[in-house]
Amino acid sequence: MKSGIDEVAGWIIDAKRTVVFTGAGLSTESGIPDFRSPGGVWDRYNPEDFYFQKFISSEVSRQKYWQMATEMYGPMRQAQPNPAHLAIAEMERLGKLDCVITQNIDGLHFKAGNSPDKVIELHGTAMHVSCLNCQKRYNRDEIQMRIKEGVNIPTCDDCGGPLKPATISFGQSMPERETQEAYHRSSLCDLFIVIGSSLVVHPAASMPLVAKQNGAKLVIINRDPTPCDDMADRVIHGQAGPTMNAILKRLKRGLGINP
Ligand code: NAD
């Protein structure tokens, strides 16, 4: 009987459009904690402090938000792609990737070598900051430098509006273009591979369902069970890095490329 690794590699070879859908679990092996695992972000912070309504409603909340965001940004800025990110970038180079739909905000798909037109960042990016009033964008490092120099609540140079990392917080609208594009790609693909997501955050978590309903094969690679495991064609409960590394090796062998 074929192992899950062989089977998934074979499906990637046969597929015309493979969508890879990634979550925080993809980046834990790069040293960035996820939200829901023990020791994850929600063990240390109260999720309610990240709600968008709180951010816009009071200066105290904005200051607290920037304190937490600053603490989380350091490790994210330093993080390097792990073998799972690198395998996904290699899939692009091999012509075996339609796109990556990511919930991650850490920019590691780009550091790994995926091109910008192949990555849909559903929840924005921590690498930029934007003004909630006039939408002016700033490089995150520039704003972090201001905080290091003593600014507690950064504001926009042009209009004085509140600055916030360009990520989507709870209660904040999803980015329209990215969300539409992600649904579109999910409905067109014939193979949809989830890597490192608990599949509980919506609307992102409905994308595997959309893919499946439109006839795609669904693969879930995650350390722990997810609510979508029952409808998947193959579930691999394992670490993202070693699993993707093994799949990439079989994929290359199947394509006649020396690993
Ligand atoms: P989540 O925290 O809800 O779930 C992560 C899942 O990954 C868990 O089910 C866990 O079992 C699994 N996992 C952890 N390490 C793994 C590994 N090495 N290999 C395989 N599986 C592993 O994360 P989510 O589903 O992405 O959704 C929550 C939100 O988290 C998203 O909106 C995202 O924006 C945000 N987030 C992003 C980052 C990041 O950018 N790196 C970090 C924390 C949170």
**Nearest residue (CA) to ligand 1, atom 13:** 25
Whether 47 has a pLDDT exceeding 90, the answer reads no
Please state, in angstroms and rounded to a whole number, the distance separating the CA atoms of residues 152 and 67.
Answer: 8
Give the mean pLDDT of 68-84: 94
Please state, in angstroms and rounded to a whole number, the distance separating the CA atoms of residues 248 and 244.
Answer: 6
**Helix residue spans in 94-175 (DSSP H):** 108-112, 140-148
- Banded model confidence at residue 259, pLDDT cuts 50, 70, 90: low
For residue 169 and ligand 1, the question of a CB distance below 6 A is answered with no
Nearest alpha carbon to residue 23 among 242, 226, 209: 226
For residue 178 and ligand 1, the question of a CB distance below 6 A is answered with no
**Nearest residue (CA) to ligand 1, atom 7:** 25
* Three-state SS at 221: strand
pLDDT score for 238:
96
For residue 32 and ligand 1, the question of a CB distance below 6 A is answered with yes
For residue 121 and ligand 1, the question of a CB distance below 6 A is answered with no
Whether 42 has a pLDDT exceeding 60, the answer reads yes
Please state, in angstroms and rounded to a whole number, the distance separating the CA atoms of residues 29 and 85.
Answer: 10
For residue 102 and ligand 1, the question of a CB distance below 6 A is answered with no
**For a pocket test of ligand 1, which of 30, 32, 35, 102 has the largest count of ligand atoms closer than 8 A to its C-beta?**
35
pLDDT score for 1:
40
Between the alpha carbon of residue 163 and those of residues 18, 69, 72, 107, 139, the distances in Å are: 36, 12, 17, 20, 11
- The alpha carbon of 155 and the centre of ligand 1 are apart by a number of angstroms equal to 30
pLDDT score for 2:
53
For residue 124 and ligand 1, the question of a CB distance below 6 A is answered with no
pLDDT score for 40:
67
Give the mean pLDDT of 205-233: 97
Please state, in angstroms and rounded to a whole number, the distance separating the CA atoms of residues 88 and 119.
Answer: 11
**For a pocket test of ligand 1, which of 34, 199, 228, 243 has the largest count of ligand atoms closer than 8 A to its C-beta?**
34
Let me know if 128 is a catalytic residue. Answer: no
Amino acid (one-letter) located at 1: M
- The alpha carbon of 223 and the centre of ligand 1 are apart by a number of angstroms equal to 10
| Model pLDDT for residues 115-169, shown as the tens digit of each residue | 999 999 999 999 999 999 999 999 999 999 999 999 999 999 999 999 999 999 9
- The alpha carbon of 121 and the centre of ligand 1 are apart by a number of angstroms equal to 14
- The alpha carbon of 197 and the centre of ligand 1 are apart by a number of angstroms equal to 5
Amino acid (one-letter) located at 252: K
β partners of residue 95: none
Domains along the chain? 1-32+81-123+174-259 (3.40.50.1220), 39-78+125-167 (3.30.1600.10)
Whether 10 has a pLDDT exceeding 50, the answer reads yes
Give the mean pLDDT of 229-246: 97
> How do 137-139 and 18-22 pair as beta strands?
unpaired
Mean pLDDT for all residues in the chain: 94
Nearest alpha carbon to residue 20 among 240, 256, 238: 240
Angle between helices 4-14 and 240-254 (to 10 degrees): 50
Residue 160 exposed, middle or buried by CB count within 10 Å (0-12, 13-18, 19+): exposed
Please state, in angstroms and rounded to a whole number, the distance separating the CA atoms of residues 16 and 33.
Answer: 33
Whether 206 has a pLDDT exceeding 50, the answer reads yes
Please state, in angstroms and rounded to a whole number, the distance separating the CA atoms of residues 187 and 215.
Answer: 8
